């Protein structure tokens, strides 16, 4: 009888061990899913001056009033000549193309030049062929750049 009791106890310990392994596996799976879901959204936003160097982009700059209505749109061409300098030509304008300097610091693209690309812009989205920039000066303003070469 004592032997039967030992076998029964060993069997219940084996069942408890199996249950603990299942619970541990389930917890590890849940933790992995939670950690993958907590990644920052802008980790995918990677733009470098080396990527922009020697590329040409068509841009549109749209400003919005306090009610979200667009009230000013400018289209232009940006040529990133090197990893620090470029040229901008405003389309449908008698203004000549002008030179600008630029720098990228994490998710901020800074331009030293004239309208429409002067100032600091937050990079809100980027891919190989499209970059979206955001700035709040007096109005919310968005620049969308589409690569053309």
Give me the CATH number covering residue 118.
2.40.128.280
The residue whose two tokens read 């009888």 is: 1
Number of structural domains in the chain: 2
pLDDT of residue 40: 46
> What is the CA 42 to chain-centroid distance, rounded?
4
Give the predicted TM-score (pTM) of the model: 0.69
Tell me if 32 is assigned to some domain: yes
Tell me if 126 is assigned to some domain: yes
Q: Are 58 and 29 found together in one domain?
A: no
Q: Are 71 and 110 found together in one domain?
A: yes
Q: Are 23 and 73 found together in one domain?
A: no
Closest C-alpha to 98, from 77, 84, 82: 77
Decide if 116 contacts 133 (C-beta within 8 A).
no
If you ran DSSP here, which 8-state letter would residue 95 be given? P
pLDDT of residue 46: 76
One pLDDT digit (tens) per residue for the chain, 149 residues: 555 545 555 666 767 777 777 787 666 666 666 665 554 444 556 789 999 999 999 999 999 998 999 988 999 999 999 999 999 999 887 878 999 999 999 999 999 989 888 999 999 999 999 999 999 988 899 999 999 98
pLDDT of residue 76: 95
Angstrom distance (rounded) from CA 78 to CA 72: 19
pLDDT of residue 39: 47
Q: Are 31 and 56 found together in one domain?
A: no
pLDDT of residue 24: 77
Tell me if 44 is assigned to some domain: no
Q: Are 92 and 31 found together in one domain?
A: no
CA dihedral 14, 20, 23, 27 (to 10 degrees): -150
Residues 6+ apart with CB under 8 A from 76: 58, 59, 60, 61, 88, 89, 90, 91, 116, 117
Tokens matching residue 134: 């955001």
Residue 87, domain extent: 49-147
């Amino acid at each position: 009888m004592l032997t039967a009791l030992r076998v029964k106890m060993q069997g219940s310990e084996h069942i408890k061990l199996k249950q603990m392994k299942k619970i541990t596996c389930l917890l590890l799976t849940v933790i992995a899913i939670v950690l993958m879901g907590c990644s920052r959204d802008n980790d995918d936003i990677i733009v470098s001056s080396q990527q922009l160097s020697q590329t040409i982009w068509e841009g549109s700059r749209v400003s919005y009033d306090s009610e979200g209505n667009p009230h000013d749109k400018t289209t232009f061409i940006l040529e990133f000549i090197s990893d620090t300098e470029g040229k901008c030509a405003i389309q449908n304008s008698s203004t000549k193309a002008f030179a600008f300097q630029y720098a990228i610091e994490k998710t901020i693209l800074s331009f030293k030049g004239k309208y429409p690309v002067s100032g600091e812009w937050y990079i809100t989205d980027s891919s190989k062929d499209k970059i979206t920039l955001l700035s709040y000066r007096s109005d919310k303003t968005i620049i969308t750049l589409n690569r053309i070469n």
